Amino acid sequence: MLEYKNKFIFIAGPCVIEDKRKAYDIAAYLKDLTAASPLVFIFKASFDKANRTSLKSFRGPGLSQGIKILENIKKRLNVPVLSDIHCRHQIKYVKDILDVIQIPAFLCRQTDLIVEAAKTKKIINIKKGQFLAPRDVKHIVEKIEFCRNKNILITERGTSFGYNNLVVDFRSFPIMKKMGYPVIFDVTHSLQRPSAGRGISGGDSEFVESLSLAGVACGIDGLFMEVHPDPKKALSDKHTSYNIHKLNSLISRVAKIREAINGQV
């Protein structure tokens, strides 16, 4: 079992698996970067981006090849891995490999999918839907708890703000923390401009650092970030992915804020 409680969680990786070598190199870089920090690092990447804006958009290698790539990263680097599922039938193929099963925001009210995932007793990361009030997340939590699974993460990823835009209500963090589970801030997806880029989602990656630090100051339990060595060339979410080479500075500042709010400075 991945031990994450009472520790700051850092979930990071590319939006989608672009190829085996690149995914491994990013995971290895992130492991080395976080090795000396108190963070719990979890590598994330999608094997299939089933919710792309356009039919022409790159979706990834698919379930069969993608889960093998994640398994290889997990075994060779000894790091926990996370990916999202979209159908119940995928669960039997991922449950013995993934350390964290993620329920995508658009599917956070799909009861059968959530219940089937919860039965695995794996950590379930709930992405709060862009259409959902933070208090309503309790109903999703109850579905997982009903299956006698209390391995839960709750992730904020912005709320719809008119057409093609999202906004983060920072009140959501203390509201959801009262549910008794770690609250993660998906800062990069929160900066999306959904479907605003002529068949792809736009975004404002220049605000990643500001929102990350603000979330830490609000007492979040972890950050979720889509990172890439060359965001402009990323095959998914290039407008919000954070440059992997800027992470060292950001992680250092995150640690200082956490020390300050915990009364250690």
Is the model's pLDDT at 106 over the cut of 90?
yes
194-251 pLDDT per residue, tens: 876 677 777 888 999 999 999 999 999 999 999 999 999 999 888 899 999 999 999 9
> Domain coordinates of the chain in residue numbers?
9-261
Is the model's pLDDT at 193 over the cut of 50?
yes
Q: How confident is the model at residue 184 (pLDDT cuts 50, 70, 90)?
A: very high
pLDDT at 132: 96
pLDDT at 6: 79
Mean pLDDT of the chain: 93
pLDDT at 264: 54
Is the model's pLDDT at 88 over the cut of 60?
yes
pLDDT at 105: 96
Q: In three state form, how does the secondary structure of the chain look?
A: CCCCCCCCEEEEECCECCCHHHHHHHHHHHHHHHCCCCCEEEEECECCCCCCCCCCCCCCCCHHHHHHHHHHHHHHHCCCEEEECCCHHHHHHHCCCCCEEEECHHHCCCHHHHHHHHCCCCEEEEECCCCCCHHHHHHHHHHHHHCCCCCEEEEECCEECCCCCEECCCCHHHHHHCCCCCEEEECCHHHEECCCCCCCCEECHHHHHHHHHHHHHCCCCEEEEEEECCHHHCCCCCCCCEEHHHHHHHHHHHHHHHHHHCCCC
Is the model's pLDDT at 181 over the cut of 90?
yes
pLDDT at 200: 73
What CATH number matches the domain at 9-261, 3.40.50.620, 3.20.20.70, 3.40.50.150, 3.30.930.10? 3.20.20.70
pLDDT at 265: 46
pLDDT at 38: 86
69-80 pLDDT per residue, tens: 999 999 999 999
